[in-house]
């Protein structure tokens, strides 16, 4: 629409199906003139519908397990060969908690699952950047973004060990972002997105209710996956070159709300002031 990414080359992780934020980012990046490769774990490639996206955007799909340095090295080599040069933007949209899938309570985790979730969801971001950094594969003023969630800062009980993984991920963005900025003029940020009804997100217990709660708390309502893609495009563009090490909330304002009138109104329907209840009783 605006040619914001004209001539830019990218790697997009994590487009499972058309509900995925990464899917929307790929569509928008394509519209804005970028070329890119798509990648996901082999199992996700089988489960999802990424080939449709690949066709639509003229992108090649390169399988890569983000916990494997070898896979990532292959991915980056291939990406540079296919795209004909260094990379300008990278989206990391990878997250998975085995403890959530298996229904383990946060207080009683299987620590092997915890390790796997951390490895896939958080350490993978370090690996991706490490490979890009060692190979000197990013163009100057390139932009690397990972998606995260506010459970890294505040308690959302059902988010389970993903909260801790996201905290680690955001720290990696800062820590690695320093070296990537200093040495290669590359910026690294995380986008902390509203709860989003992706295929992954929807599986979480009580997700629909929480979606509604977040929407009523946020002055502008929840941000959608499509809106997140728009925002991501700005952060890949040349207009945000000096934004780095930041965790950027894209959430309709939720993150800075204490309470909204809408949430308070609902709360008061269930929690009548004492006097009022007494009063009603008396009338009977």
Residues 181-200 that bind a second copy (CB under 8 A): 181-182, 185, 187, 194
Check binding of 70 to a second copy (CB under 8 A): no
CA torsion 7-12-15-18 (nearest 10°) is -20
Residue placing its CB nearer to a second copy in the complex, 79 or 248: 248
Cβ 124 vs Cβ 172: under 8 Å: no
- The Cα 114–Cα 234 span in angstroms is 34
Residue 4 phi, psi (nearest 5):
-65, -25
**Quick one: 145 exposed, middle or buried, by C-beta within 10 A (0-12, 13-18, 19+)?**
buried
Contacting a second copy within 130-169 (CB under 8 A):
130, 133-134, 150-157, 161, 163-164, 166-168
224-243 residues near a second copy, rule: CB under 8 A: 224, 227, 230-231, 233-234, 237-243
Among 56, 115, 202, 278, binds a second copy (CB under 8 A): 115
Residue 244 in contact with a second copy, rule: CB under 8 A: yes
Q: Which stretch binds a second copy (CB under 8 A): 7-15, 47-55, 72-80, 265-273?
A: 265-273
Shortest CB 233 distance to a second copy, Å: 6
Q: Does 102 bind a second copy (CB under 8 A)?
A: no
SS3 248: strand
Out of 209, 278, 279, 280, the residue judged to bind a second copy by CB under 8 A: 209
C-beta of 44 vs 217, nearer to a second copy: 217
Position 175 contacts a second copy (CB under 8 A):
yes
Query: Using the rule CB under 8 A, is 118 a contact of a second copy?
Result: yes
**Cβ proximity to a second copy, 77 vs 266, nearer residue:** 266
**Kind of pairing, strands 60-63 and 87-92?**
unpaired
Residues 7-66 binding a second copy (CB under 8 A) are none
Beta bridge partners of 36: 10
Smallest separation, CB 270 to a second copy (Å): 5
Q: What gap in Å lies between CA 60 and CA 222, rounded to an integer?
A: 32
CA dihedral sign, ordered 41, 43, 45, 48: negative
Residues facing residue 187 across a β-bridge: 143
Q: How many other C-beta atoms are found inside a 10 Å radius of the C-beta of residue 244?
A: 19
CB of 39 or CB of 192, closer to a second copy:
192
Chain position carrying tokens 């915890």: 114
């Amino acid at each position: 629409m605006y040619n914001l990414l004209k001539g830019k080359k990218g790697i997009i992780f994590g487009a499972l199906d058309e509900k995925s934020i990464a899917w929307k980012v790929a569509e928008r990046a394509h519209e804005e003139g970028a070329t890119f490769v798509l990648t996901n774990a082999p199992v996700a490639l089988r489960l999802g519908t990424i080939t449709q996206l690949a066709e639509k955007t003229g992108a090649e799909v390169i399988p890569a397990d983000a916990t494997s340095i070898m896979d990532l090295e292959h991915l980056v080599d291939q990406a540079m060969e296919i795209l004909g040069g260094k990379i300008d933007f990278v989206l990391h949209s990878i997250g998975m908690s085995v403890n959530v899938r298996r229904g383990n309570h946060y207080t009683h985790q299987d620590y092997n699952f915890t390790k796997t979730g951390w490895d896939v969801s958080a350490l993978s971001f370090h690996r991706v950047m490490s490979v890009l950094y060692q190979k000197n594969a990013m163009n100057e003023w390139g932009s690397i973004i990972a998606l995260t969630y506010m459970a890294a800062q505040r308690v959302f009980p059902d988010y389970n060990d993903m909260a801790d993984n996201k905290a680690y991920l955001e720290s990696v963005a800062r820590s690695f972002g320093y070296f990537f900025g200093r040495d290669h003029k590359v910026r690294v940020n995380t986008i902390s997105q509203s709860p989003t009804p992706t295929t992954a997100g929807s599986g979480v217990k009580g997700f629909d209710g929480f979606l509604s709660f977040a929407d009523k708390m946020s002055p502008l309502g929840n941000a959608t996956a499509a809106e997140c893609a728009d925002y991501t495009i700005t952060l890949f563009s040349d207009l945000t070159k000096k934004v780095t090490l930041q965790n950027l909330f894209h959430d309709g304002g939720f993150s800075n709300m204490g309470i909204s009138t809408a949430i308070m109104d609902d709360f008061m329907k269930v929690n009548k002031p004492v006097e009022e209840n007494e009063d009603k009783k008396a009338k009977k």
